């Protein structure tokens, strides 16, 4: 099995929805574009990635949303060394179709009180639903490592919540640990790096807004 040396996760650059939440009332979530600031963030992420990967090949997976496609294009990775696939299971948490701003604000308040992992938006998904499809993607990803010629680098261009849930699934975090983590900023990266002991470790933690409450699984 040819496990990659590193698995890099990148959040898309700033989108129209990050600066104006009324845009969801007239533009589908999947069709939102990057702002000029978001394009700059993507280009800056590309500089860091090209330095990280150097001349090594990369297997890239990109969420099907427009803002993630745009982010990937602006990374400017060498196409001769990059194998790219669109991966719908890495999409953003579905919040329904057209969104009413006031209704979404109410539901976000309910989610904060109920819990980000279990709360399900009225016409959309819960964090647990996203966790399940990320888990299904991970099974496919692991099967790809059976190819002895698999590239030493994997790149995922995706969304903040999906990044946290991917790491939760990979590193076996509890729900309580997940609930205490904040999304990375737009254009930010996290990397799972393979150590000499055969285990992957996160290069730097996600910011925490609280301390997780310990669970007693023995009682």
The CATH number covering residue 151 comes to: 3.40.50.1240
Other C-beta atoms closer than 10 Å to the C-beta of 51 total 8
Q: Is residue 217 one of the residues assigned to a domain? A: no
Q: d(Cα 2, Cα 33) in Å, to the nearest integer? A: 36
Q: Poorest-confidence range of 60-74, 91-105, 139-153, 205-219?
A: 205-219
User: Where are any strands of DSSP class E within 68-145?
Assistant: 82-86
Q: Is residue 213 one of the residues assigned to a domain? A: no
- Reported as a single tens digit per residue, the pLDDT across 88-135 is 999 999 988 888 888 888 988 999 899 999 999 988 999 999 999 999
Domain count, the chain: 1
Residue 161 belongs to domain spanning: 6-202
Tokens 């002895």: give the residue. Answer: 148
Q: Is residue 219 one of the residues assigned to a domain? A: no
**Catalytic residue flag (residue 159):** no
For position 197, what pLDDT does the model report?
95
Q: Out of 16, 87, 92, 179, which one is annotated catalytic? A: 92
Q: Out of 12, 69, 116, 159, which one is annotated catalytic? A: 12
Q: Is residue 214 one of the residues assigned to a domain? A: no
Q: Is residue 207 one of the residues assigned to a domain? A: no
Q: Is residue 15 one of the residues assigned to a domain? A: yes
**Catalytic residue flag (residue 92):** yes
Verdict on whether the full-model pTM lies above 0.85: yes
Mean pLDDT of 49-66: 97
Q: d(Cα 125, Cα 165) in Å, to the nearest integer? A: 13
Spatial strand order of the sheet with 58-62 comes to 82-86, 58-62, 153-158, 6-11, 189-194, 200-202
């Amino acid at each position: 099995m040819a496990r990659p040396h590193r698995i890099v996760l990148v959040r898309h650059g700033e989108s129209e929805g990050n600066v104006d939440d009324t845009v969801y009332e007239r533009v589908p979530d999947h069709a939102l574009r990057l702002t000029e600031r978001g394009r700059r963030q993507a280009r800056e992420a590309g500089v860091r990635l090209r330095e990280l990967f150097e001349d090594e090949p990369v297997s890239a997976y990109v969420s099907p949303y427009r803002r993630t496609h745009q982010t990937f294009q602006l990374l400017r990775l060498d196409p001769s060394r990059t194998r790219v696939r669109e991966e719908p299971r890495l999409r953003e948490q579905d919040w329904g179709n057209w969104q009413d701003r006031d209704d979404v604000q109410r539901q976000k308040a309910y989610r904060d009180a109920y819990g980000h992992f279990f709360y399900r938006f009225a016409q959309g998904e819960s964090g647990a639903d996203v966790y399940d499809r990320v888990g299904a993607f991970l099974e496919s990803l692991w099967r790809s490592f059976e190819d002895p010629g698999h590239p030493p680098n994997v790149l995922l261009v995706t969304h903040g919540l999906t990044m946290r849930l991917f790491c939760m699934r990979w590193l076996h975090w509890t729900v309580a640990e997940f609930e205490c983590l904040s999304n990375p900023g737009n254009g930010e990266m996290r990397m799972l790096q393979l150590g000499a002991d055969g285990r992957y470790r996160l290069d730097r933690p996600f910011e925490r807004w609280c301390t997780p409450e310990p669970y007693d699984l023995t009682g």
